[in-house]
Every structure is written in C-alpha cells, then in structure tokens.
Amino acid sequence: MAVDLNAKIPNNVGLADDRRLQRALESWQPSFINWWKELGPEGTENYDVYLRTAISVEAEGWANFGYVKMPEYRWGIFVAPPIEGRKIPFGEHRGQPVWNEVPGEYRASLRRLIVTQGDTEPASVEQQRLLGLTAPSLYDLRNLFQVNCEEGRHLWAMVYLLHAYFGRDGREEAEMMLQRHSGDADKPRILGAFNEETPDWLSYFMFTFFTDRDGKFQLSSLAESGFDPLARTCQFMLTEEAHHMFIGTTGVMRVVTRTCEVMNELRTDDPEKIRAAGAIDLPTLQRYLNFHYSVSLDLFGQEVSTNAANYYTAGLKGRFEESKIDDDHVLKDGVDKVTMFEDGVIKDVDFNSLLAVNERLRDDYVTDCQIGVSRWNKAIKRHKIEFELKLPHRGFHRSIGTFAEANITPEGKVILKDEWEKGHDQWLPSKEDREFVISLQKPCTDPGKIASWVAPPGRGIDGHAFDYEYVKFN
Ligand code: BYC
C-alpha cells in the first residue's frame, strides 16, 4: 500500500506497474484540470489556500496541511488497505471471498452504481463555484475550498474504478462525468438534488449537513460491497466526508447561535427586526431546513425498489453498518414496515425486507439528521428562546418515490393541491426569503472578521486561531 507521491497522479494502487491504466488516467487528467478551471471555484487560480492533502491512508498521514494553489492540488487515488481473507458480507454470495475483479453478470449494475456516485462529486463543485465570492469569513472560505478539492478527489476515486475495471465503456463514462453539468437543461447531473442551485452560504451549510450526509450513508453501504476495490475506495472517502458534515453541523449551529444572540440583544422574536439587524430569523432557517432535508431524502431513491433488492442480493451494495446488524444478511424472509402513500392516505405497509433496503437506509439517515437538529435546539434552549427546529414529515415536498404525487404538510397532513400552493411559502423558502438571505452575502475576508449573520467558530483549523490567514489572495 506504499503511496507514490511523486507520480503525476499520486496513488497507493501501484499505478506505475500498470502502464496502460496509468496512460489512460494521465490522458483524463488534463480534461479534469480544464473542467476545474472552467467550473471549479471561480477566479481562484492564484489563491494560496491552507489545505489538507491526503499523503497516505494511515491515520497520521492523510491530514497533511500547507498552502496550495488549487489547480495544483495533488488529486490522487487512495484506497484503504485490503483486509486479508475478507468475505462478502451479505446477499446470496455471503461468506464467499470478495471479488477483486468485476463479476461479468454484475458489470452493468456496478457500473451504474459507480457512475451515479461519481456524478454527484463534480456536481457539488459546480453548484458551489460562486460561493467563494461571498464568503462570511476567511475560515469559511478555506473550508469551502477544502470541500471542493476533496469532492474533486472523490471524482478521481470513481474515475479510477471506471478506468481500471470497466475498459472502454468505463473510460467513456469517465468522460461523461465532465460533460454533464449541474442544472444544465440538456445534460443535467443524474440525481435531482445535484441540479439545485447553492446560491448562498446558508444553503451551503444546509447542503453540507443534509446532502453530504446522504453521501455518508450511500458511501457506507457501498463500503460493504463484495467488489473489494469499491469497498476500499469508499472506506477511504468516508474519512474525508466526515469533515464535510462537520462544516454543515457547525455552520448551521453558528447561524442559529448568531440569530439567538441578536434575538436576546434586541429582546425580540420579530423576524423583521431580526433581519434588520442582519441576522436570519429562526422561521426562515426552518424553511431552508425543510427544503434541503426533503430534496436529500429523495436521494435514497424509491421506497420499494427491485433494483436496490438486486444490488443487495448480488452483494454489491449493503446496508449502513451491515456487520453490526444482527440478522441473516440475506433478507429473503424478512418483513419491514414501509411508510407509503396509497389511496390518498399515508400508511405503513409490510414489504419484503429486500425490497425495502433503500427505505432502511433512509431511516438510518433520518435518525442521524435528528441528532444534529437536536443539538441546534439545545443551543436555542441555552439562549432561553422558545423555538424548536423540526425535521418535516418524510412525505413532505418529495419528487421521488411514493410521495412524489402527494401534497403533504411538514406535520404530515395530506392536503389538496390548492392548499399546498397556499401554504408553500410558509413551509419552503419564499422568493423574499431567498432575496433576503442573498442580500446578506457580502465577502468578509479580512482575517478575524465575520459577517453579521453567523457566529465565529469555536476553534480554527489545524490548531490555528480563527484569525489565521487561511487564504492568501495574491
Ligand atoms: N433524482 O437506481 P434506481 C454524495 C431515478 S451523495 C433523480 O433503481 P433507486 C455527495 C433513477 O435515475 C450520494 N432521479 O433507483 C453528497 C432511475 O431512473 P431511470 C450519491 C432519481 O433504487 C454531497 C430510477 O429513479 N450516491 O455522495 O430508487 C456532495 C430508478 O433508479 C433519483 C448514490 O446515490 C433522484 N434522487 O435508488 C457530494 C449511490 N432517485 O434510469 C457528493 C449510488 C432515483 O430508470 N446510487 N432516481 O430513468 C444508488 O444507490 C441508487 O441509484 C439510488 C436510487 C439510491 C440513488
């Protein structure tokens, strides 16, 4: 697992021993750099950014900090070390040795999973490309760039798998990763949430909390895969993903904290007065939460999915923390309750557990989201303010699956279409909300300074203070 850091493409997969693969990836590299320059963080080519670069997959080596110009970031290919004697942990091949090559019968399914996962990574960079122009602090700006570079690396991770294991169609898929673009009417990104805009930093914090968290759960279930190169790739990606969610959890927390401070200073809960003081009122935060949570729930796919059942049975994509679950890991005879929308009502329906694996993953995700929301609520309580942020009902504002046709309030009440139209702006960010939040987006990038609507972080990065010069603009 030695890391070759001096290679054109840093890697711990022995690229130098496979000249063909190395050449293929080296010929993809310029397209990637061109894409980064065109659709990556706008106008940042000369910035020196205090970034973490992975130089090894060991605990002490993957977090190596220093100033880097982003187009020169050492995007590499890193996989977690193999576990000797690892067996396929679930499905009909359970207990057999893991595969180190793609089994012919699962080639199309595996490619589809890898392409879907890979497509999200550059999509998020595209969505965030203008945020650097309005960062609320230098610390936040640096964190944004860190996330962008790591999403770029995650694209490399998936492109490596496509090139190394899927021959010519894999190379074509790798090209396509740079041709589809977020929000492009003709060639959109594959999944809905990755075609939404991230026009402001509140949306960004919500995105890193809710949408990156989908990444955590999807990557965790791919990290269980019987196709060992995919499992090991995802295991290492998860170490980076944790930082992205940290940005979301603490980012929203800092917005909540600032709002509460302003409410207490002014002794008011009047949204107009809070906004006039340059902070974001709690009901607006709730509407942003409702939006990002609901579009992220869609990313788990259909509630009842034969594709997901087939992926599971084939041993390609497992459940979250598969090995910690106490059951037969085959699921043929299991029964699970799934909340469905049928005949105009919401009801729990029994399905074979295999068909319900998407929904189980969504359940685990909901539980994880609630932990973050409860933390924010504790902060509100500490400020002695009576307000609770809530996750809306899982059927609220959905576009994929059983609830796509339904109109459901955040409380879970089924309503008619015209009631939905009337309530819409109460539940989701209105045009005015968005305009207000965007009006707050002004760059605040002197070291130690921070915008009016967000509190400073508890501590800085890599042991540095908040006022460290995390980005040098040159
Ligand atoms: N939007 O795959 P199937 C991350 C469509 S995030 C639009 O059987 P199933 C990250 C689908 O295209 C993690 N369309 O769906 C986070 C297909 O249409 P066609 C990303 C959707 O079983 C932040 C049909 O439904 N990883 O890493 O429902 C920043 C059925 O397709 C959507 C993965 O997603 C949607 N949301 O499962 C950066 C893991 N959902 O082709 C990165 C890999 C479904 O029949 N993907 N459709 O017309 C999967 O496991 C599955 O594809 C899904 C969907 C769970 C996404």
CA torsion sign for 413, 418, 420, 424 is: negative
Q: What percentage of the chain exceeds 90 in pLDDT? A: 94
Mean pLDDT in residue range 295-307: 97
pLDDT above 90 (res 60): no
The DSSP bridge pattern shows strands 64-69 and 48-53 to be antiparallel
- Nearest Cα to 57, choosing from 71, 77, 40, 42? 77
215 Cβ below 6 A of ligand 1: yes
Count of CB atoms within 10 A of residue 130's CB? Answer: 16
* Residue 374 token pair: 């409860």
116 Cβ below 6 A of ligand 1: yes
CB 228 within 8 A of CB 100: yes
Nearest CA to ligand 1 atom 41: 190
Mean pLDDT in residue range 29-36: 97
Q: 3-13 burial, b if ≥16 CB within 10 A, otherwise e?
A: bbeeeebbbbb
Nearest CA to ligand 1 atom 53: 301
Taking only the tens place, the pLDDT of each residue in 239-269 is: 889 999 999 999 999 999 999 999 999 999 9
Nearest CA to ligand 1 atom 47: 301
Q: How confident is the model at residue 62 (pLDDT cuts 50, 70, 90)?
A: low
Nearest CA to ligand 1 atom 38: 121
Residue 328 CA to ligand 1 centre (angstroms): 26
Q: Give the span between the Cα atoms of 151 and 163, in whole angstroms.
A: 18
Mean pLDDT in residue range 402-408: 97
Residue 448 CA to ligand 1 centre (angstroms): 41
Side chain identity, residue 332: K
Pocket perturbation via mutation, ligand 1, pick of 120, 147, 207, 220 by most ligand atoms within 8 A of CB? 120
pLDDT at 364: 98
Residue 307 CA to ligand 1 centre (angstroms): 11
Residue 301 CA to ligand 1 centre (angstroms): 6
DSSP letter, residue 342: E
CB 417 within 8 A of CB 310: no
Tell me how far the alpha carbon of residue 181 is from its chain's centroid.
17
- Nearest Cα to 249, choosing from 154, 367, 371? 371
pLDDT at 240: 87
Q: Give the span between the Cα atoms of 385 and 390, in whole angstroms.
A: 15
pLDDT above 90 (res 311): yes
- Please spell the DSSP secondary structure of 378-436, one letter per residue: HHHHHTT------PPPTTTT--SSTTTT--B-TT--B--HHHHHHHHHHHS--HHHHHH
- Residue 50 phi/psi, 5-degree rounding, is -75, 95
| CA angle, 98 then 102 then 105, to 5° | 105
Nearest CA to ligand 1 atom 48: 190
pLDDT at 383: 98
Nearest CA to ligand 1 atom 19: 190
